[in-house]
Amino acid sequence: MIPKLKILFIFIFSLFLFSYDPPHYIYFINNSNSIAKVRLNIKPKTENYDLESLQVGDSIVFNFKQKETVKIDFGIRNWSD
């Protein structure tokens, strides 16, 4: 019985040594019957390389049609400012 308990303890302890960084997304779903506009204001001093391709000036603007879904991918790891 003790060897099984020891193996279980080692297994549970090893889980704490590994971190899991899931991908981060934000979904915008337009459930209306008209065109929707979403504007995200970006802090001027924030360096986010994942959003630079979408950024125009100090913001990101999405215009999407009715019943359309837009996904912003923030990549894997922690969220930045």
- Judge whether 59 and 42 are in contact, CB under 8 Å: yes
Radius of gyration over every alpha carbon of the chain, rounded to an integer in angstroms? 21
Residue 30: other Cβ atoms inside 10 A: 19
Q: Write the pLDDT tens digit of every residue in 3-43.
A: 888 888 888 877 776 666 667 788 888 898 899 888 888 77
| Closest residue by Cα to residue 30 from 8, 62, 54, 73 | 62
pTM confidence score: 0.52
Q: pLDDT digit string (tens) for 44-53?
A: 776 666 666 6
Sign of CA dihedral 41, 45, 51, 55: positive
Residue 61: which pLDDT band, with cuts at 50, 70 and 90?
A: confident
Q: In whole angstroms, how far apart are CA 59 and each of 2, 12, 22, 31, 68?
A: 60, 44, 25, 23, 21
What pLDDT was estimated at residue 20?
A: 65
